[in-house]
Amino acid sequence: MVSKIDRRNKIKARIRGRISGTAQRPRMSVFRSNKAIYVQLIDDLAGTTLCSASSKGIAEGTKVEIAAKVGEAAAKKALEMGITEVVFDRNGYLFHGRVKSLADAARKAGLKF
């Protein structure tokens, strides 16, 4: 029997085989834990994180609402750096709930996927 973690790692590897970030169009990678959600903009060619945002310090609202605030914050930081387009990496998670909320908020704030 395949565990939930093994299944996610398999999906994650399949996604990462297809997408890669550059300095002009970085990879927007999402990590979600039970308590928090994090997002990074990554330049895979240089192997560096360009900017990041997390839900640490945001206490008000449901998990989905907090994820939307993180998406807006990440988009704002990216636009300040001159980044308008990203490649979205859901990191093996289903595009549903918190991940979808973060992505929709980032799109609404001005990022193009």
- pLDDT tens-digit readout, 10-57: 999 999 999 999 989 999 999 999 999 999 999 999 999 999 999 998
113 within a domain of the structure (yes/no): no
- Count other Cβ atoms within 10 Å, centred on residue 77: 16
Indicate the pLDDT class of residue 73, thresholds 50, 70 and 90.
very high
Count the domains in the chain: 1
- Answer whether residue 53 is part of any domain: yes
CATH number reported for the structural domain that contains residue 85 in this entry: 3.30.420.100
Taking 90 as the threshold, does the pLDDT of residue 64 lie above it?
Answer: yes
- CA separation, residue 11 to residues 7, 25, 53, 110 (Å): 6, 22, 24, 28
Residue 2: predicted pLDDT = 87
State which residues form the domain around 72: 4-108
pTM of the entire predicted model: 0.91
> Is the residue at 38 inside a domain?
yes
In contact, 55 and 67? CB cutoff 8 Å: yes
**Does residue 90 belong to any structural domain of this protein?**
yes
